[in-house]
Amino acid sequence: MSRPPALPELTDKAAAQIQRLLGDWLLWFSAAYGEQIRRCNEPWTAPPREPPPSHRIDDPF
C-alpha cells in the first residue's frame, strides 16, 4: 500500500482561507443538491418492494 503524499506547509492565514472556501463550497453544494442527498440517505421514504398483507397476521404466541 502506498503512502499518501506529505501535506504542504501552510501559513495560518492560508489554512483559514482554505477552510472558509471549503465551508462556503459545502454550503453551496448542500443547497444545490441537498434534496437528492436526503433522498439517498433516507431509505425509509422509498416505496415498499412488496405490498403489505391485506389481512392481519395473528401473533403465533
Distance in angstroms (rounded) separating the CA atoms of residues 53 and 50: 9
Which amino acid appears at position 28 of this protein?
Answer: W
pLDDT at 29: 96
Residues 2-53: tens digit of each pLDDT: 899 999 999 999 999 999 999 999 999 999 999 888 888 776 655 656 666 6
pLDDT at 45: 57
What are the C-alpha distances in Å from 1 to residues 4, 17, 32, 41, 59?
A: 9, 32, 36, 31, 54
**pLDDT band at 1; cut points 50, 70, 90:** confident
Sign of the alpha-carbon dihedral angle for 39, 40, 42, 43: positive
pLDDT at 21: 98
pLDDT at 20: 98
